[in-house]
Amino acid sequence: MTLASEIRQVIVNSIEKLPNVSSDQVHTFGIKANDWTDDKPVFLITEISSNESGYGDNEATYLQQQAQVQIYYPKDYVGDMDDLENQLKQVMRSDRYYCFSDTGHLLTPDDGQLMATLKFNHKK
């Protein structure tokens, strides 16, 4: 299973803790055109890196992995974005994925949709 798939499983297993989020809107590596919604956030999970680390006897003792979760909000989203993102961080932390970067919110250049990117570290 890929790192992105593992993270998707963590999120889907705790989907009830994430307000206004459906498991159908949690994607890995890409989002199909018909998967965008006008009323719910869409998640995109991608991998950043996976590096051997913690050497002992000239062997790696674990992998240091990084991935990001991009959240695309509908244009007229009325939910609390900060609450959703904090809940996501808690869900991830409960499975030992730790947020190391939260870029805040920005508008996508193509359609002006609001988005946030959260980056996570994980030891495997």
CATH number at residue 44: 3.30.2000.10
pLDDT per residue over 58-114, tens digit each? 776 768 899 999 999 998 898 999 999 999 999 999 999 999 999 899 998 888 889
The answer to whether residues 9 and 27 touch, using CB atoms and an 8 Å cutoff, is no
Can you give the pLDDT at residue 116? 97
Please give the residue range of the domain that contains residue 7: 3-123
Number of domains making up the chain = 1
Residue with tokens 């609450």: 83
Kindly report the average pLDDT of the chain as a whole number: 91
Phi/psi for 25 (5° steps) reads -100, 15
pLDDT beyond 90 at 10? yes
Q: How far apart are CA 69 and CA 44, in angstroms?
A: 6
Q: How far apart are CA 34 and CA 42, in angstroms?
A: 12
The answer to whether residues 98 and 122 touch, using CB atoms and an 8 Å cutoff, is yes
